[in-house]
Structure 1
Amino acid sequence: MPDLLTLGLIGLLGFACQWLAWRVKLPAILFLLLTGILIGPGFQLVDVDALFGNLLFPFISLSVAIILFEGSLTLKLQELKDIGTTVRNMVTYGALINALVTTIATHYFIGLSWSLSALFGAIMVVTGPTVIMPMLRSVKPNSKIAKALRWEGIVIDPLGALLAVLVFEWIVAQQTSASVGHVFMVFGQTIMLGVALGVAAGYCFGLLLRNHWLPDYLHNYAAIAFVGAAFALSNTLMHESGLLTVTVMGIWLTNMKNVHIRDILNFKETLTVIFVSVLFIILAARINFDTLVQLGWGAVIILIVMQFVARPLKVFVSTIGSRFSVAERTLLAWIGPRGIIAAAVSAVFALRLEELQLDNAELLVPLAFSVIIGTVVIQSATARPLARLLGVSEPDNEGYLIIGANPVAVTIAKALQQAGVKTLLCDSHWENIADARMNELQTYFGNPFSEHADMYLDTSGLGGMLGLSPYHSQNTAAALRFKEDFGIRNVYTLASAEDEKTHAKHRASGFYKGQVLFAENIRYRDLRRMVRAKPQIKTTQLTENYQFSNWQADHDPNTSVLLFAITKEKKIRFVTTEKNLTPKPGWQLYSLKVDSVSS
């Protein structure tokens, strides 16, 4: 197959895997690994080594650096207030416990030397954001568990790589008769260089952003350039220090004051999806089935030990004295999938050890992939049911963030609450917040566009936004702010006077304001008049004998407003100007009804 066609095929297959994963709500890594195996060792359609040549491992390393930098941009130090001690324990002595158990199991059940077993144990301490993030979206654990797993997954990657470097240098020292002191000196230099370069790169790039010395259109390009240069320079000066560099750079950058990185983070998330898709396919395509078969039942035993012994022991020791409940600790102990970092690091070290002609070095990669596939498959299938069983999962993302806690917003929130839909009302006026709380509604007192909201506005369990503020500009701004979180299809705002203007140049684009609620002639002031008349929240069950047409005939548009409908599948459907809602028998309608509306 021509190289150009192969590259295009890999990109298309990666997209197909991501789309399929979205449709069936499973981690994309499952489909990516299967695809790589099929086009590689399966049908031998792609020879990855021949396709990329000497650029294969530089491309893998740089892609991993970008992925890890993107993950580190989400790590706010304030989050460590409740989980800091646990995360610290999990990535330090907890990781060593995990590595020790894995090392012993690998030596006795696979038959590798103590040196190679220790290297494999070091590599397997990593979890990684590429598999943790999709799994968290699927499992939906409570925020404390999610934060702990996210922090662990990102911080453990460079630390795991450093631990692997320490073991690797020890192996090299054995092969070359170097001193143990030299090994620890290299390790210390790697840490110091990684931290120093990471801080310097993060600070310099942060200054450029804070002082607006870069035009907006160059922000994303500059981010890639800084990450690539810092990673390359760090790895050139000290091998395998680059991952620590980019992680420190991201954490430093995201915690700098007055540095706004939301657009960069959104762009990097897109890049991460692309790189993860391509990397998993090409790495899986390099698997050698012969060596995988050679591992036999030993690989299965290693997987069982890591899932049922190493991970639980690590978590339960690391959380002694913490605020995590037994149920939360149990889910933490169950979720620890291995991802792209483990695959990439094992591939790099295996290649270097094969150059040193070390026996059984070629077994590292298939053994790593057996663990990656096993942990992802087992945990993807069981983590969500386990979280529900333990009572530590958030509800499905069917709730709504409501901009405004005014009387209109409170009334609609009460209707949603009556329908069993979670709501969170956000307002900066204390009188509105107090009234919402008197109605037993969940609230956030503050500006939804503030830095405080970025940190503390908890949107877990929410899947959409309703702009119910009396100010159209605030609703549109909120739609812009949250369309990345919920998707523009799940963002709704009220109609405004601008919507009635004939020329399009006077109307806000639907791309910015989302879908318009109710009808174009129903604005905030109209709903406000109805609320002042003390409306009833009416529920109507549609049947074969009483259909939507009957409901319309019985309800005067001047005194009734259909708010939303609940389908037979318990899905919420809002009335909007863009779609004609046609409720069917079995649906339940929620509406506001008044006797009369004053002018």
Structure 2
Amino acid sequence: MINGAFNIDYFILLCALLLISGVLTAKFSTRLGVPALVLFMIVGMLAGSDGLGFIYFDNAKYAQLVGILALVIILFEGGLQTKWSTVKSVTAPALSLATLGVIITTSVVAAAAKFILDVSWVEAFLFGAIVGSTDAAAVFAVLKGVNLRKRLGATLEAESGTNDPMAVFLTISFIQLLLTDQPNYLLLVGSFFWQMGIGLLLGLGLGKLATVAINRVNLDSSGLYPIFAMAFALLTYSLTALVGASGLLAVYVAALVIGNAELTYRHSIFRFNEGFAWMMQILMFVILGLLVFPAQLFQFDIIIKGLILSFILILVARPIAVFLSTIGLKFELKEKMFLSWAGLRGAVPIVLATFPMISGLQNSQLFFNVVFFVVLTSALVQGSTITFFAEKLKLTETKTELPIHSLELVSIGKANAEVIEVEINEETSIVNRSLAEIVFPKDVLVNAIIRKGSLITPYGETKVYAGDVLYILVSKQSKKQLKEMLEKPVLSETNVKKAVE
């Protein structure tokens, strides 16, 4: 047991075993039909003092630190992977669900918690705020295995990426109301607009700054670019939080800006952040599992109260929030039903449940145990049935086959050049032309063509067809010219007629 004398080698061994357990858990979670986050938490609970007794951990401050750091990285990775072209079409419903939806969910759950937990109204609203938001880590992980309609999937991802700030704001506000004798409600309203407004502006500004820095700073190794990008994510959160604004919102917005820009070493940055986000997700859920004591959690009183509140959250509060928040936003009935069911709770409520513990509130341990039970229920019941409901409601699309080719880009050192990937379609200016006919900008060389999964060695007479994937070596000075050339519309007969007219 790690308690008292601290053995570094023993600690490193435990970290290795926990990470290996987490990776294997993620591997088999799909086959078992259980979300990985549940199994991660179970690993933590088994390793804790009430389980096998390997680790004794009860420090809510450290758990909160790890949780927030992990959320920053997970939100950053989720934002990088999100296409703005998809998100902008669902901005209205996503923001409505992330703000009005959280408030409605908080209110309905609070009304139930007031009587079930036998607490004051302010404490009841605090509990409602803690479980009021869906969880980005849970939603991003589960949706990767479900080929949903694009608009529906984008709405869920955008909502989960942007509703954490509202839950954090409400949680902190209700804690302040409990700790303050004479609360200033106008100050709380002003604080809301400051947090959201400044968080949005700093996210946009720092995202653009990060994009410029990544593209213009010539680093010695391609492996430094992902670290550089991650550093900007941490910088965005910390600077925004230090001025009293929403750091989580700023990180997600910055990631959207960076992920949708022309980026050097894009593949390296994306793959690194995907792996790092998985590692932090494993670490976060294991730590949160360590923080809970099963002997306290699985008491008859906690189980009954947790089940009733879970039932109200999943089948009453979330559906009411979804149906009211999406009025007039052109969602079909079955889409609203699915949005209601897909409101997974995960790490965010558990991390937020540590706030009352750190503040020393009277019912903080009760809240933590009930919240943990609600999250477990939500993840097990909703997370394991999302695919089933999506298919039954016929909300899935034909799965797009991913290319079977793979190209590992290596560092070109200080050569001031990079290899970029270009997918050719019918509108690309060089389609149906041979390489010898194409006048490329200076310092541009087509290295390889992938056609229907096969590698084509390019020669002067090689023609470029729609569906081809070209890997092109280009100097950074010529990259902009190459992009402009490729984006010019092909001069088809239709386009020529339009031009003449």
* Structure 1 length-normalised TM: 0.63
Q: Contact between 2:93 and 2:326, CA under 8 Å: does it hold in 1?
A: yes
Q: Alignment partner for residue 59 of structure 1, among 66, 70, 92?
A: 66
Alignment partners' CA distance in 2, 1:322 and 1:186: 29
| 2:19 alignment partner AA | G
- Equivalent position of 1:353 in the other structure: 359
Deviations 1:250-299 (A, max 9, x none): 23333456677443222111111000011101101111335432424111
Q: CA deviation at 1:24?
A: 4.1
- Equivalent position of 1:385 in the other structure: 388
Deviations 1:419-473 (A, max 9, x none): xxxxxxx8534xxxxxxxxxxxxxxx65999xxxxxxxxxxxxxxxxxxxxx992
Task: Classify 1:258/1:43 alpha carbon distance in 2 versus 1 (closer, same or farther; 3 Å).
Answer: closer
Alignment partners' CA distance in 1, 2:241 and 2:127: 21
Q: Contact between 2:214 and 2:229, CA under 8 Å: does it hold in 1?
A: no
Task: Classify 1:130/1:118 alpha carbon distance in 2 versus 1 (closer, same or farther; 3 Å).
Answer: same
Does the alignment pair 1:373 with 2:380? no
| 1:297 alignment partner AA | I
- Equivalent position of 1:88 in the other structure: 95
Residue range with higher mean Cα deviation, 242-251 or 61-70: 242-251
- Equivalent position of 2:27 in the other structure: 19
Q: How does 1:550-561 map to 2 (within 5 A)?
A: none
Alignment partners' CA distance in 1, 2:332 and 2:365: 42
Deviations 1:114-144 (A, max 9, x none): 2222122112222122111222133332222
Does the alignment pair 1:162 with 2:169? yes
Q: Alignment partner for residue 473 of structure 1, among 448, 451, 454?
A: 448
| 2:382 alignment partner AA | Q
- Equivalent position of 1:132 in the other structure: 139
Q: Alignment partner for residue 283 of structure 2, among 260, 272, 278?
A: 278
- Equivalent position of 2:425 in the other structure: 428
Alignment partners' CA distance in 1, 2:61 and 2:132: 28
Task: Classify 1:398/1:204 alpha carbon distance in 2 versus 1 (closer, same or farther; 3 Å).
Answer: closer
Q: How does 1:176-191 map to 2 (within 5 A)?
A: 177-191=182-196
Alignment partners' CA distance in 1, 2:247 and 2:456: 51
Alignment partners' CA distance in 2, 1:69 and 1:91: 18
The residue matched to 1:475 in structure 2 has which SS?
strand
Q: CA deviation at 1:76?
A: 3.5
- Equivalent position of 1:45 in the other structure: 54
Q: Contact between 1:472 and 1:494, CA under 8 Å: does it hold in 2?
A: no
Does the alignment pair 1:251 with 2:259? no
Q: Alignment partner for residue 454 of structure 2, among 468, 493, 500?
A: 493
- Equivalent position of 1:364 in the other structure: 367
Alignment partners' CA distance in 1, 2:454 and 2:293: 54
Deviations 1:141-188 (A, max 9, x none): 2222111111111111223222222222322324xx453344444444
Q: CA deviation at 1:336?
A: 0.8
Alignment partners' CA distance in 1, 2:243 and 2:168: 16
Alignment partners' CA distance in 2, 1:250 and 1:400: 24
Alignment partners' CA distance in 2, 1:400 and 1:57: 38
Q: Contact between 1:158 and 1:247, CA under 8 Å: does it hold in 2?
A: no
Residue range with higher mean Cα deviation, 224-233 or 252-261: 252-261
| 2:454 alignment partner AA | T
Task: Classify 1:289/1:83 alpha carbon distance in 2 versus 1 (closer, same or farther; 3 Å).
Answer: same
Q: Contact between 1:87 and 1:148, CA under 8 Å: does it hold in 2?
A: yes
Alignment partners' CA distance in 1, 2:122 and 2:146: 37
- Equivalent position of 2:317 in the other structure: 310
Q: Contact between 2:63 and 2:291, CA under 8 Å: does it hold in 1?
A: no
Alignment partners' CA distance in 2, 1:398 and 1:24: 24
Q: Contact between 1:142 and 1:393, CA under 8 Å: does it hold in 2?
A: yes
Does the alignment pair 1:325 with 2:325? no
Q: Contact between 1:169 and 1:183, CA under 8 Å: does it hold in 2?
A: no
Alignment partners' CA distance in 2, 1:164 and 1:109: 19
| 1:220 alignment partner AA | P
Alignment partners' CA distance in 2, 1:109 and 1:447: 65
Q: Contact between 2:306 and 2:370, CA under 8 Å: does it hold in 1?
A: yes
The residue matched to 1:111 in structure 2 has which SS?
coil
Structure 2 unmatched ranges of 5 or more: 2-9, 406-422, 432-445, 460-470, 472-501
Q: Contact between 1:208 and 1:214, CA under 8 Å: does it hold in 2?
A: no
Does the alignment pair 1:173 with 2:180? yes
Alignment partners' CA distance in 2, 1:301 and 1:233: 40
Task: Classify 1:232/1:494 alpha carbon distance in 2 versus 1 (closer, same or farther; 3 Å).
Answer: closer
Q: How does 1:409-488 map to 2 (within 5 A)?
A: 428-429=425-426, 473-475=448-450
Task: Classify 1:428/1:223 alpha carbon distance in 2 versus 1 (closer, same or farther; 3 Å).
Answer: closer
Q: Contact between 2:71 and 2:137, CA under 8 Å: does it hold in 1?
A: no
Task: Classify 1:495/1:235 alpha carbon distance in 2 versus 1 (closer, same or farther; 3 Å).
Answer: closer
| 2:54 alignment partner AA | L
Q: CA deviation at 1:48?
A: 2.6
Q: Greater relative contact order (Cα 8 A, min sep 6): structure 1 or 2? A: 2
The residue matched to 1:474 in structure 2 has which SS?
strand
Q: Contact between 1:159 and 1:244, CA under 8 Å: does it hold in 2?
A: no
- Equivalent position of 2:420 in the other structure: none
Alignment partners' CA distance in 1, 2:331 and 2:187: 41
The residue matched to 2:276 in structure 1 has which SS?
helix
Task: Classify 1:228/1:211 alpha carbon distance in 2 versus 1 (closer, same or farther; 3 Å).
Answer: same
Alignment partners' CA distance in 1, 2:225 and 2:161: 23
Q: Which has the larger radius of gyration?
A: 1
Task: Classify 1:329/1:60 alpha carbon distance in 2 versus 1 (closer, same or farther; 3 Å).
Answer: closer
Does the alignment pair 1:242 with 2:232? no
Alignment partners' CA distance in 2, 1:242 and 1:16: 32
Q: CA deviation at 1:109?
A: 1.4
Alignment partners' CA distance in 1, 2:123 and 2:430: 52
Q: CA deviation at 1:75?
A: 3.5
Q: CA deviation at 1:9?
A: 2.5
| 2:40 alignment partner AA | L
- Equivalent position of 1:143 in the other structure: 150
Alignment partners' CA distance in 2, 1:246 and 1:159: 14
Q: Percent identity?
A: 24
The residue matched to 2:345 in structure 1 has which SS?
coil
Structure 1 unmatched ranges of 5 or more: 404-425, 430-444, 450-470, 479-491, 499-511, 513-599
Q: Contact between 2:78 and 2:140, CA under 8 Å: does it hold in 1?
A: no
The aligned length equals 417
Q: How does 1:569-580 map to 2 (within 5 A)?
A: none
* Structure 2 length-normalised TM: 0.75
The residue matched to 2:211 in structure 1 has which SS?
helix
Task: Classify 1:353/1:144 alpha carbon distance in 2 versus 1 (closer, same or farther; 3 Å).
Answer: same
The residue matched to 1:127 in structure 2 has which SS?
coil
- Equivalent position of 2:205 in the other structure: 200
The residue matched to 1:138 in structure 2 has which SS?
coil
